[in-house]
Amino acid sequence: MGKKAIGIDLGGTAIKGAIIDEGGICGGVIRVPTEAQGGGRRIMENILSLIGRLAEGGGGPGAFIGVGIGTPGFVDSDGVILNGGANLPGWTGMQVYAPIAERFGLRSSAANDVTSVALAELMFGAGRGVKNMVCFALGTGVGGGIVTNGRLYKGSHGMAGEIGHIVVETNGEECPCGQRGCVERYASATGIVKMAAAMAKEAADGNVTELAEFVRANPGEVTSKLVYEYAAKGDALALRVHERACDMLGRAVGIVINTFSPDRVVLGGGVMMAGSVVLEAVKRYAALHCWPEIFKLCEIVPARMGEDAGVLGAGALALEEFG
Ligand SMILES: [Zn+2]
């Protein structure tokens, strides 16, 4: 029988848990409310009772090699949460490994939730069969994860993989992280919407497109999906936004290709729902920002993991570390 782990994916409203083995999810995914307003101890208690339910259903704690946890923020090497985020008050500073060891006698491995999705892609998705890989997740922000020699690279302090904050534009857009010109400001869903608004404002009257008119009339209803719907119809403004987003992302992809010489760069998240139009443009721009010899040895591919990526990635953390 293969080794199995418990995967826990902590979010602002729900905690998802599942039993994960080399084949993926065994049985189903269980969702329980996070009860974030109850504070760090409440969240931890909910995680512990979910682990208890999963362990019981899977033959008891002794049947598992460990627990993997994907969480917002970072986790230091002792299992203490750093920067747990505004959605989880009181979560920062919580120690997660000790209570799991005390109650179940199980070891744990925790990491940023988006970073651990890279491991899900490696074990079960677009990264199968490769050793070195970098994942970009293009959502509300841009997150990512780096895999080297088949292992998630966490860095010396558990904070590696912040590839959304690679600066791609000198004196560019302000980012909440404190820098300017982070790739996240251009290639995330939020960044795409903001660029569309800015470019619609600039558009001269004789040069107004359908998207520009829509943005001016309904500023609160613009989404990156909508921008891509207009782009598919050939709207000039939407195509300019698309080119700029992909140019900026291509710069960051070029930087990671030069730095890591990975077998694959995996692009996922909501923005990738626009499909091959994004993928092909990013390939075109990335090629301009890295060494041709390294570029031609690296594939740029779409992510394959769906909505269970977080819980699979969490389980993969434990399988990777203790398997
Ligand atoms: Zn930033």
pLDDT tens digits for range 249-284: 999 999 999 999 999 999 999 999 998 999 999 999
pTM metric for this prediction: 0.91
113 neighbors 71 (Cβ within 8 angstroms): yes
In tens, the pLDDT along 28-44 reads 999 999 999 999 999 99
**Could you give the CA distance from residue 205 to residue 171 in angstroms, rounded to a whole number?**
28
| CATH code at 4-125+307-322 | 3.30.420.40
CA 178, CA 144: separation in Å to the nearest integer? 19
- What's the confidence (pLDDT) of residue 275? 87
**Residue ranges covered by each domain of the chain:** 4-125+307-322, 136-302
Residues with CB under 5 A from ligand 1 (ion): 165, 175, 177, 179, 182
Give residue 5's pLDDT: 98
Domain 136-302 belongs to what architecture? Answer: 2-Layer Sandwich (3.30)
Predicted local confidence at residue 237, as pLDDT = 95
Q: In angstroms, what is the span from residue 183 Cα to ligand 1's centroid?
A: 7
- 8 Å CB contact between 38 and 25: no
| Strand pairing category for 67-71 and 4-10 | parallel
> In the chain, which residues have pLDDT < 70?
1, 205-206
d(CA 163, ligand 1 centre) in Å: 9
Query: Ligand 1 centre and the CA of 189: distance in Å?
Result: 15
> Residue 188: CA atoms inside 13 Å, Cβ hemisphere, count?
20
Structure tokens at 286: 């990335």
Q: Which residue has the tokens 């992280």?
A: 177
Q: How far is the CA of 19 from the centre of ligand 1 (A)?
A: 34
Residue 153, pLDDT score: 93
Q: What whole-number distance in Å separates Cα of residue 176 and Cα of residue 189?
A: 15
Q: How far does the centroid of ligand 1 lie from the alpha carbon of residue 190, in Å?
A: 13
For residue 223, give the amino acid letter: T
Same fold, 4-125+307-322 and 136-302: yes
Q: Are the C-beta atoms of 152 and 160 separated by less than 8 Å?
A: no
Q: How far is the CA of 138 from the centre of ligand 1 (A)?
A: 14
3-class SS of residue 162: coil
